[in-house]
Amino acid sequence: MEVQVNGEDISPEEFLEGAGWCTIGSKTQANRANAQSNNQTGAHSRTGEGADGNGQRSRQQQRNYRQLQAITVGDRRHEVSAYETAPDYTVKGIIKGIPLEEDAKSIHSNIVHARNPQALAAKRLSNTTTVIVAFEGPRVPTYVRYGGALLRCVLYRKQIDMCHCCGRLGHRMDVCPNPQDKVCRGCDAPNPGPDHQCSPRCKLCGGTHMTADRNCRARYKTPYVVTKRQWERRRAAEEAEAAATTGPAGKPRSRSRTSSQSRSRSRSRTPGPQQHQKRRARSRTPRGTPTGDTKTAESVSFADAVKGKRAPNAEAGGKTPTKIETEIAQLTQAMQTMKRQIEHMQAQIRAKDELIQQLQSAANSETDPQAMQETQEEPTEDDEVEGPDTKRRPAPTPLKAARLKRTRAAIRDARLEALEGRLSSLEETITATITRTIQQSLESVHLRLSRLEAANSTLGTSHSEAAPHI
């Protein structure tokens, strides 16, 4: 048999007798005493005594409930452990680093004092160094005085209970009601075997991991104070948006527009004699033709209309010839500008090609100084042979000369290859840019021309249909 109790979920470690919530009856008694002193009169003295008696009985009942250890339902005895919940106007925070040697009284005396005016009660969380503190009001202070130390305090977020025995949410493993009926935490498969494999899906966040895994961000409940602040912010944003849509007088802007439209309509409902004439003239014109083309339609005679002739302006598609000519001139100017840019880029490419050819010819015509020295004329017998100059450097050996020649040739070839690679990449970039620019410009020109032709054909058709009605 299952028994449900309304309240906050508390871990079994918090059910110990020496670690219960400390009473905060002192503050509640003071508030009740102040309220009774303000409202008490001679006529209500007996009523005040009755209220005190009811308060004493309710506090006695609370103490009796805290001492409750078992409940008998039918013939079965259920062990329970009651605790006193925090009031509605409080919020919970946690501090860490409290030694395990500190008992409940020491923790209460070191936290609930004048230097922490918002602290109402404190208790240790199971057998850890973490302590839960109840504060008065909707906010948790940033720091808490614990004796002579200043400790960091954060908002308490309760962890969602997950049973690692049966794989279900809502309870812990030590109080599992059905340890034999197990399900997989990843896919809810009943009674999975030891070699069971599946693609897990978290029930809390929908991630690809086991339900309530350590890396799951949704395994902690969002505190009520956080939800309330989020709701208040959304409400304020909606009100600000609604206020932005209203006018300075507090009325929506759309009303002023509708009123102005209604005024203009009401004025137009009382036309004068001239307006009647204008209406008759306008009613004779077809709906599809604009008002600016009435002169063109009137300039066509009945014989021309029967023959199918149209006014010269009608062939322009409702647009004046000057506007079409302006658009054509703009397109022509853009094409000429792109043509000049293409010619400039081609000139740059030709200059780069000439520079490459000059460098190649200079590299081919360059010779080694050692080879030039060997091709010099040898001295004859009649020539006087001068002795070697003591200050001149001796000639290199043939092996060194050949090695030097190969090194210089390799350096020259490497430089030429690098230069050719850079110039080829530059040429490819310029060519691609030119091609892309030309394609884009041609596409835009064709698109605009097609639009102009479509507009001309559409308006030409409408004029031809309207001609017999003239």
pLDDT digits (tens, 9 = 90+) for 331-341: 888 888 888 88
Range with lowest mean pLDDT among 65-69, 86-90, 134-138, 275-279: 275-279
Q: What is the mean pLDDT of residues 144-164?
A: 88
Task: Answer yes or no: are the C-beta atoms of 335 and 381 closer than 8 Å.
Answer: no
**Percent of the chain's residues with pLDDT above 90:** 10
Cα 176 from chain centroid (whole Å):
42
Instruction: State the Cα–Cα distance between residues 409 and 401, nearest whole angstrom.
Output: 12
pLDDT at 55: 58
**pLDDT above 60 (res 112):** yes
**pLDDT above 70 (res 12):** no
Task: Answer yes or no: are the C-beta atoms of 85 and 92 closer than 8 Å.
Answer: no
**pLDDT above 80 (res 135):** yes
Q: What is the mean pLDDT of residues 54-80?
A: 78
Range with lowest mean pLDDT among 60-64, 79-83, 214-218, 461-465: 461-465
The residue that leads in pLDDT, 47 or 166, is 166
The residue that leads in pLDDT, 24 or 406, is 406
SS3 content of the chain, % helix, strand, coil (to 5): 50, 10, 40
pLDDT at 151: 93
Range with lowest mean pLDDT among 176-190, 278-292, 303-317, 394-408: 278-292
pLDDT at 267: 44
Q: What is the mean pLDDT of residues 18-27?
A: 52
Instruction: State the Cα–Cα distance between residues 324 and 316, nearest whole angstrom.
Output: 8
Model confidence at 434, in pLDDT bands (50, 70, 90)? confident
Q: What is the mean pLDDT of residues 11-24?
A: 54
Q: What is the mean pLDDT of residues 357-381?
A: 57
Q: What is the DSSP letter of 198?
A: -
Q: What is the mean pLDDT of residues 161-174?
A: 84
What own/partner pairs with CB < 8 Å and gap ≥ 24 does 422-428 have?
423/352, 423/355, 423/356, 426/352, 427/349, 427/352
pLDDT at 463: 55
pLDDT at 11: 63
Angle at 118 between CA 233 and CA 64, to 5 degrees: 105
Domain spans, the chain: 303-362+404-470
pLDDT at 158: 82
pLDDT at 141: 92
pLDDT at 96: 93
Instruction: State the Cα–Cα distance between residues 313 and 319, nearest whole angstrom.
Output: 8
Closest CA to 371 of 410, 398, 335: 398
**Percent of the chain's residues with pLDDT above 70:** 62
Digit-coded pLDDT (tens) for 305-329: 545 555 444 444 444 457 777 878 8
What's the mean pLDDT when you consider all of the chain?
A: 71
Radius of gyration of the chain measured on its C-alpha atoms: 49
pLDDT at 152: 94
Contacts with 459 (C-beta within 8 Å, 6 or more apart), sequence order? 314, 316, 317, 318
